[in-house]
Structure 1
């Protein structure tokens, strides 16, 4: 299967609101806004890299081949959750009508598509080209200045906030330093880096496990 981006976000986007980060850090003025925005963009990039698959809302096109010696109960689209199937074309059967597309049995959250209930129970061999809209909408501020939640799971936004907060607190200390004590002779301990975390704190990694590429749909 090949997945092609028809219309996807071209610019980096923050996956959590600056206001949420300011609350978590106890910041009440605007003097650090530019720095916080940069931290959120960096943290969002780390989170997206760790997830390892496109998750943001856009229009996508999948080219799916079913071999001559097989039939399939379902077709699995490359990007999910799916919000709309726009076009569905088979190499031998032509394009589905809007009504036929509406009759498809779609599991939107996982991107799995079953044949229409009125047709054959299996997808026949051939090439299928599916154009569809899928992905999450991150939280943002609307034109009225009010926050809009979007559809991004809270676990992903929480991971971004954890990573941004870790970067904020690590700016003026050894990034491996985990805790300090100034009593008595003093003591320090260092947190070991975790292999495969992509530079994210372990707490953020824990929140992202179910969203990674290859996870259960």
Structure 2
């Protein structure tokens, strides 16, 4: 079970300034609209990838029915492990180690060798996720931000079109057909594929 203890102040994967630069928009008349598109695109990217990218403080409860060589935490990359508590009590930091990029948590012996996690309940308090564009020290991968910008750009250029129409005839011009668009286009999902969780493919 995963509980968010400290929610991210924002989860937008790009900034208004970056989007306006992409679209060559120089006034603020559409700022509110673009801000809404940024939020929608960011949520769509989270949904497609099956994960939240913004850094948050978390508490995860794991119930082991048998010994395990590693715990795979739900969120990554790991920024910090605050505490690890087993049924025997709180573990000293020297008794566990984590792989930040994968979210894997290992049990260590007193000598520093890797051991196994014993069956039972394990409680892990940690922070995971990226610092987003606009944050000091941002570390969100550039291709994720680029995907968000492209998603906003695509929505911006499609505004006003009736997305429920599959075909239409225009007298004297011709017939036009277009299918219902996916929530995210291929140019966006190609950038996001390396960050998609297994099971969401």
User: Is 1:108 aligned to 2:100, yes or no?
Assistant: yes
- So what's the TM-score if we normalise by structure 2? 0.83
For 1:154 and 1:83, locate their aligned partners in 2 and report how far apart those are by CA, in whole Å.
18
Shift of 1:164: 0.7
RMSD (CA atoms) = 2.7
Shift of 1:80: 0.7
Q: Structure 1 residue aligned with 2:132, among 128, 134, 138?
A: 138
Write the distance in 2 (CA, Å) between the matches of 1:125 and 1:108: 24
CA distance in 1 between counterparts of 2:43 and 2:198 reads 19
Q: 1:20 aligns with which of 18, 21, 42?
A: 18
Segments of structure 1 that go 5 or more residues without pairing to the other structure are 142-147, 178-183
Which consecutive unaligned segments of at least 5 residues does structure 2 have?
166-171
Q: What's the CA shift string for 1:39-64, capped at 9, x where partnerless?
A: 11121121122222232211111111
Deviations 1:117-159 (A, max 9, x none): 5256222222211101111121116xxxxxx561222222112
Work out the CA distance in 2 between the residues paired with 1:24 and 1:191: 26
Instruction: Quote the residue 1:5 is aligned against.
Output: 4
Structure 1 pair 55–71 and aligned structure 2 pair: CA distance change class (3 A):
same
Match of 1:79 among 75, 79, 94: 75
* Residues 1:128 and 2:127 aligned together: no
Q: CA deviation at 1:174?
A: 4.2
Which residue pairs with 1:180 in the alignment? none
| SS, match of residue 80 in structure 1 | coil
8 Å Cα contact 1:76/1:113 also seen in 2:
yes
Aligned length: 194
**CA shift digits 1:72-95 (9 cap, x unpaired):** 111111111111100111112x11
Structure-2 change in CA distance of 1:149 and 1:33 (3 Å)? farther
- Partner SS state of residue 18, structure 2: helix
Residue 62 of structure 2 aligns to a residue in which SS?
strand
**Conservation of the 8 A alpha-carbon contact between 2:69 and 2:115:** yes
Aligned to 1:140, what secondary structure does the other structure show? Answer: coil
1:15-54 aligned within 5 A: 15-54=13-52
Which residue of the partner structure matches residue 90 of structure 2? 95
